[in-house]
A and B are shown apart, each in its own frame.
Chain A
Amino acid sequence: MSDVYIVGIDMIRFGRYPEKTVPGLAAEAALLALDDAGLTIRDMQALFCGNLGQASGMVGQRMLAEIGQTGIPVTNVANACATGATAFRDAWMTIKAGVYDTVLAVGVEQMGKGLLGGGGGVSPEGLVGSYTMPAMFAHIGMEHSKRYGTTFAQFAQVSVKNHHHSTLNPKSMYRVETPLKEVMGAEMIAWPLTKLMCSVNVDGSAAAVLMSEKKVRERGLMDRAVRIRASEMSSNPFEDRQMAMPDFSGATRVAAANAYEQAGIGPEEVNLVELHDCFATAELVHYENLGLCAFGDAGKLIDDGTTALGGRVPVNVSGGLLSKGHPLGATGIANIYEVSTHLRGKAGERQVEGARIGLTHVVGGGPGMGTACAIHVLEKV
């Protein structure tokens, strides 16, 4: 079966745009991606649009009302923090299945400030533990500490690294250095997570144009193409403590194993990774879940600089969700944009030299909801 390629991909700079609309933000990214491909909306045969905040609001159709209503099929997608990557994968599947040759995938989110989590009705928060996102990811870090002795400082170092990376990325929300002392001294939210170890709620959008191999050759677009070597998704397999403690590792391990098999590579062949660092604790846990190191060795990887720019396998050179920002529905395609930009050799100051293969990972969910995970493996053409 022939491969599917990305021929256009881009994102807006993540930030706070209260004066804009969700479809408007989506339209900006869509036009950037179309321009990157040298195509127009008239070339698109279908649209997959990911958004959480207005999941029942027909965001894809409203976006087309801003950039051109050509009558193409629109599928609106919501899947927690994997929303954007799900839209991307759905686009990939239609091409892989031979239904379409050229498909647009968009991810968009407009967010308020503040804590995520909770729900309707009388809240058990405080009386029966906590239901905030930071508390969930604090538990994951504490479990890692208990098993392997991982320290507060090692978790904090993830934020130091990713904030440093973001100073080299003009599309990042924040672009400031945060020394270890500052990260550890920031407001404690849920031990061991300080405010600077939690991702930033921002507005943002990202979009990609996917194309069949036949069409890429026909249109002469191979010079800008990135090959999709694997596209995988998973939900959370049963875990004993899942109702008390949402599990993001099981789904990541399932998707990673399948993605490596589909790509026909091992984790040692990956040159850069954009993974789901919604909280600093998550990044270390996912080093192990993605096979970047053995179980228990994640602390070593952050200590010795393996995952910093210039290291063996740089992780989140974009600044990650911690610094670039985490507009839920946009994050999955923004990660793919980052890796694609390195594979095209166009990442400027933060370029991972000689990058041939990159991996993107997003995983989301919530208390009592379950997990959605998506992993893509991309290759330089």
Chain B
Amino acid sequence: MTDTILPFVKAGDGAPYLAGSRCGACGEVFVGTRATCAKCTARDQMAPVHLAQTGKLYDFTVVYRSFPGVKVPFIDAIVDLDDGAHLKGTLMGVDPDPATIQFGMPVTVEFREAVPAGADRPYLTFVFVPAEGAKS
């Protein structure tokens, strides 16, 4: 089985998903599993959830210089998922041109396998792509 690039990316027996947690006390949704709420400090109130796979582009930068072996340019995006979680990822499917990327554009999460820089085998990872019908 393919390893996943980050612990919260789950293979899910052929139906990959992003693992999250929702605080039963304050409602905050976190990326990844956790036991205590960093926002309201409640303990033992966290329920595991599958994170939303749709959201909106909150912020971005276009990275032109990265670590050795990493292909540039690419869009480093901060997305507000529709369930309230906040997620960093790479935005694909639009030109890496700061002048044309739209704040607030709807995106969806897609899963794919890719070889990280410096690695010799593929890992399961995710990317953001423009939502169906969204203009880029």
A244's contact among B28, B86, B117, B127, by CB below 8 Å, is which? B86
Number of interface residues of B (CB under 8 A): 43
- Is the contact region of chain B dominated by helix, strand, or loop, or is it mixed? strand
- Residues of chain A contacted by B31 (CB below 8 angstroms): 243-244
Kindly identify, within residues 176 to 233 of chain A, every residue whose CB is under 8 Å from any CB belonging to chain B: 187-192
* Chain A residues within 8 Å of chain B by Cβ, number: 33
Report the minimum CB–CB distance from A132 to chain B (whole Å). Answer: 6
In the complex, chain B residues whose CB is within 8 Å of the CB of A244 = 31, 78-79, 86-88
Note all chain A residues with C-beta closer than 8 A to B87.
244
B103, A146: Cβ atoms closer than 8 Å: yes
Complex partner residue of B125 from A127, A135, A188, CB under 8 angstroms? A127
Q: A240-B86, A243-B30 are in contact. Are A126 and B70 (CB under 8 A)?
A: yes
- Report how far A117 CA is from B127 CA in the complex, Å: 21
A129 contacts B by Cβ under 8 Å? yes
Contact A125 B117 (CB under 8 A): yes
Instruction: Evaluate whether A130 and B63 lie within 8 angstroms (CB atoms) in the complex, with A124-B5, A124-B125, A245-B78 already known.
Output: yes
Contact of A245 with B126 in the complex, beta carbons under 8 Å: no
User: B116–A129 contact, CB under 8 A?
Assistant: no
A142 contacts B by Cβ under 8 Å: yes
Whether A190 and B123, one on each chain, are in contact in the complex, defined by CB atoms closer than 8 angstroms, is: no
**Which residues of A, 110-156, contact B by the 8 Å Cβ criterion?**
115, 117-118, 122-130, 132, 134-135, 138-139, 142-143, 146
Whether B64 contacts A128 by the Cβ 8 Å rule is no
Question: Across chains A and B, which 3 residue pairs bring their CB atoms closest together, nearest first?
Answer: A138-B61, A130-B76, A126-B70
Interface residues of A (CB under 8 A from B): 115, 117-118, 122-130, 132, 134-135, 138-139, 142-143, 146, 187-192, 238, 240-245
Q: Which residues of B contact A (CB under 8 A)?
A: 5-6, 28, 30-32, 38-39, 58-67, 70-72, 74, 76-80, 86-90, 98, 103, 114, 116-119, 123, 125-127
Beyond A126-B117, A190-B61, A243-B30, 18 additional contacts (C-beta under 8 Å) are: A115-B67, A117-B67, A122-B119, A123-B116, A125-B66, A125-B70, A126-B90, A127-B90, A127-B114, A128-B125, A129-B89, A139-B61, A139-B76, A142-B59, A142-B60, A146-B59, A188-B62, A243-B31
